[in-house]
Amino acid sequence: MPMSAREVREALHELGDLRYAAGDLDDALRRIVHATHELFAVDGAGLMLVDPDQLLRNVADSDKRIGDLEELQIEHGQGPCIDAFDDKELIHASDLTTEDRWPDFSPAAVDRGLRAVLASPIPYNQMAIGVVTVFSSDVHPWSPEGELALVAFTDLAALTIANTMQSEQRGELATQLQRALDARVVIEQAKGAMVARDGISPGQAFERMRRQARAERRRVVEVAREIMITARRP
């Protein structure tokens, strides 16, 4: 049964304190995931945030299946959460049994009894810093009303994060996110330097940095800083 505008308003009203207070970010995001799960009457919901290596990491999920699928997307670098984050747009699939965009993710989701997915990027300062996702165990053509409702919850997550980031008492999760935002500046600069120097795409530049970091067991931001030091030499 499709959700009504009244149900969406009531669910957002119950989370209204998050719009104005800067409290425990971890707890706030878990509340948003729980409310999203309940409102959509779906079979799973999750929220991921970017880490200092600019990879998505699981922050809150409704059950272990969702956490497993989020980890799988991180491992293979493909999936609806990755696409929503990279493209900064809503990503949906109504039947994963016929979905060929994500050859590793789709069969894994179906094996766990999940057939449809809707993923919405979390905006922050003109960039995406995470994703909110819902899953259905049935084939589920997502309605425009459902998509708008998920965007509303995603925007609430973004506002909650913004409030917390401006607070003096950020907490551990917000501090980790600030490190990710600081690292992104350096990594983006390094990507630009590599594009100009080597004639490659920004995606190829990032993958090259990530491979080097993995091979040397270092953080991507450390590799990016070295690239910028080299680029600034006359």
Which domain does 211 fall in, by range? 172-232
Q: Which of 114, 142, 165 is the last residue of a domain?
A: 165
Looking at residue 205, which CATH number applies to its domain?
1.10.10.10
Q: Three-state DSSP class for 23? A: coil
What are 52's two structure tokens? 């200092």
User: By the 8 A CB rule, do 4 and 39 touch?
Assistant: no
Which residue among 124, 148, 165 closes a domain?
Answer: 165
**Domains in the chain, number:** 2
Same domain flag for 38 and 107 = yes
Which residues fall within 8 angstroms of residue 205, CB to CB, at 6 or more apart?
190, 191, 194, 195, 198
Q: Are 163 and 79 in contact (CB under 8 A)?
A: no
Residue 208 corresponds to which tokens in the numbers above? 């090259």
Do 44 and 116 sit in the same domain of this protein?
yes
Structure pTM? 0.84
Give yes or no: residues 15 and 63 share one domain. Answer: yes
3-state secondary structure of 119: strand
Task: For tokens 């819902």, name the residue.
Answer: 134
Could you read off the pLDDT tens digit of each residue along the chain, which spans 234 residues?
456 778 888 888 788 777 766 667 888 898 889 888 888 878 889 999 999 888 899 998 888 899 899 889 988 889 999 999 999 999 999 999 999 999 999 999 999 999 999 999 999 988 899 999 999 999 988 988 889 889 989 999 998 888 888 776 667 888 889 999 999 999 999 999 999 999 999 889 998 998 999 899 999 999 999 999 988 877
Same domain, 190 and 156: no
